[in-house]
Amino acid sequence: MSARRPLIAGNWKMHKTIAETRTLLAELCELAMPNGVDVMVAPPFTALAAARDRLRDCGIGLGAQTMSEHEHGPYTGDISPVMLRELSVRWVILGHSERRAYFNETDDGVARKVRAALAHGMTPIVAVGETADEHQRGETIAKVTFQARAAFAGLTEEEVRKCVVAYEPIWAIGTGLVDEPASANGVIGEIRGAVEGLEYARVLYGGSMKGDNATALMAEPNIDGGLIGGASLSVQSFMEIVAAAALRAAAPR
């Protein structure tokens, strides 16, 4: 039986002004979050302070979408773990495929950020995933296990257990093409097997997760929740997924 608590993480990407953040979170915080499920949102940096204020006593955690590996220094435009901790940020998404593709994030860089997050008491959510071409060529397992091994290289099993992984097939992100639950379950099983400690860590699925596919995905034994993009931007679609996670929490394996 698994003791892994479901986690639903909303990655807002570059959406929501401060005013929009306040509105969405005010609506979300009026709803009771189900027992047994962790829920968190990662707004843009500019809205973190407003989100922190709005989320007090609301049962939803606060995350960031990326961060610097450095505490301070000449890194124009970057945001450090110290600055995030000051804003009560508890979670940080690292190595998202959009960061890797558009901001040249490397496996080594992601690994350094994972260490920095842990050193500052934050939980890294490390994103891994294959492109459509890699998927076609049958390279999915090789790609994601390589990324996972690289991200957690040199960490103790104890440290790895504290982390979260998100398997996000790149071809499924924002496309409406969701992976088959059994297929995602199999890939995540390989990810867990690739790094000591990941068996105990939470691994999420991400990529067009919505209310109508979340239950089937989270019914799979290896899938502990979701990293949600588009569907995290409205209360109704996000809460449908949270409700699906509550079902999973109520039926532990």
Q: Site residues (CB under 6 A) for ligand 13P?
A: 11, 96, 168, 173-174, 206-209, 227-231
* Least distance from ligand 13P to the Cβ atom of residue 181, Å: 15
CB nearer to ligand 13P: pick between 131 and 199: 131
Question: Residue-wise over 47-80: b if at least 16 C-beta within 10 A, else e?
Answer: bbebbbebbeebebbbbbbbbbbeeeeeeeeebb
**Is residue 168 annotated as a catalytic residue, yes or no?**
yes
* Least distance from ligand 13P to the Cβ atom of residue 77, Å: 21
* Least distance from ligand 13P to the Cβ atom of residue 45, Å: 16
CB nearer to ligand 13P: pick between 20 and 199: 20
Query: Strand, coil or helix: what is 160?
Result: helix
The one catalytic residue among 96, 105, 130, 135: 96
Q: Determine if residue 47 is left, alpha or beta; phi over 0 gives left, psi from -120 to 50 gives alpha, anything else beta.
A: alpha
- Say if CB 226 and CB 213 are below 8 A apart: no
Helices and strands: H and E segment counts in the chain = 11, 8
The one catalytic residue among 69, 105, 168, 220: 168
Structure tokens at 134: 């890699």
CB nearer to ligand 13P: pick between 156 and 183: 183
**Is residue 157 annotated as a catalytic residue, yes or no?**
no
* Least distance from ligand 13P to the Cβ atom of residue 105, Å: 14
Comparing every residue's Cβ against ligand 13P, the nearest one is: 229
- Distance of alpha carbon 116 from alpha carbon 69, whole angstroms: 6
Structure tokens at 131: 């492109």
CB nearer to ligand 13P: pick between 76 and 236: 236
Annotated active-site positions, please?
96, 168
